[in-house]
Chains A and B, each alone.
Chain A
Amino acid sequence: GAGVSQSPSNKVTEKGKDVELRCDPISGHTALYWYRQSLGQGLEFLIYFQGNSAPDKSGLPSDRFSAERTGGSVSTLTIQRTQQEDSAVYLCAIPQAPGEKLFFGSGTQLSVL
């Protein structure tokens, strides 16, 4: 979507490597979410940022996953020592307006070989 830019659009990596996924939302949104869609699965919540509050990390599947949001804008999701089960589409989302429904980026397709 035009309001959220994600990069790269596709990433192929070898098992055991680290990857960094980027989400660049249009400015002014204090809330930002990461989800992922694994093959045949629904959209799985990963992490939620809201302003200066501590992020809700309850959806991160393991300690190999981490995310940060610097300056209240760009967010990066880092996966260390990638495994094949990490292969999925990783989606970033922001509220369309404060308190409104989520607007998703086009996602990063991650393939771990």
Chain B
Amino acid sequence: DQQVKQNSPSLSVQEGRISILNCDYTNSMFDYFLWYKKYPAEGPTFLISISSIKDKNEDGRFTVFLNKSAKHLSLHIVPSQPGDSAVYFCAAEHGSSNTGKLIFGQGTTLQVKP
């Protein structure tokens, strides 16, 4: 049972345009959501997060939006840069678990073309 889903395996955008990566979840008990970025041969690195009490969090070129009623979150990157090309994973945490264990989606490979 895939509790966190990223239905688009890949996305290609032109440099300078907006990249929108989507993520859906099924467990209404998730209360904290994160995005990680992964380059080849490296471990995933934390990018941005959002608590379920918010619907938007912004950090520079990166903005995460949360729609709790739809159980959907998205990551916007604007403007996109070639260095943003990587695999992006969304992740969710069950607040009451108190373990810090994250449930990840399958990942979306973003390619930003110069």
Contacts and interface: CB of A to CB of B under 8 A. Distances in A.
Contact of B106 (A40, A99, A105): A40
Chain A: interface secondary structure? strand
- Interface size on B, as a range, is 20 to 34
Contacts of B44: 43, 91, 104
- Interface size on A, as a range, is 20 to 34
Contacts, number: 59
23 contacts: A4-B43, A33-B100, A33-B101, A40-B106, A42-B105, A42-B106, A42-B107, A43-B44, A43-B89, A43-B102, A45-B103, A45-B104, A48-B100, A56-B99, A56-B101, A91-B43, A93-B43, A96-B46, A99-B100, A101-B34, A104-B43, A104-B44, A107-B43
Interface of B: 4, 6, 9, 34, 36, 41-46, 49, 89, 91, 99-107
